[in-house]
Amino acid sequence: MSTDSPLSQEATENEHRQENVTGPHPAYDDHGRLDYRYWRCERCGFESVDPRLRDGCFRCGAAPSGEDEGGGDAD
């Protein structure tokens, strides 16, 4: 399993960010048994077993699934 392979550069800044962080995805050992679960950023390809990735991508700042683009405090 490659954990550092970026996806195609077809993604744009105008793309909806709701589907950028997905998971948990199951990973299996050589005997077909569940080994661990991981989360994946669909925007940059980063994969991690750290469940904090659900809160957003550490590498590219992509939003987790189900979150809206934007946000922040308005003055």
Question: Could you read off the pLDDT of 32-73 as tens digits, one per residue?
Answer: 999 999 999 999 999 999 999 988 898 887 776 654 444 445
- pTM across the whole model: 0.56
HEC assignment per residue over 43-63: CCCEEECCHHHHHCCCCCCCC
**For position 1, what pLDDT does the model report?**
52
Which residue's entry shows tokens 């709701």? Answer: 18
**For position 12, what pLDDT does the model report?**
38
**For position 58, what pLDDT does the model report?**
86
**For position 47, what pLDDT does the model report?**
94
With cut-offs at 50, 70 and 90, classify the pLDDT of residue 5: very low
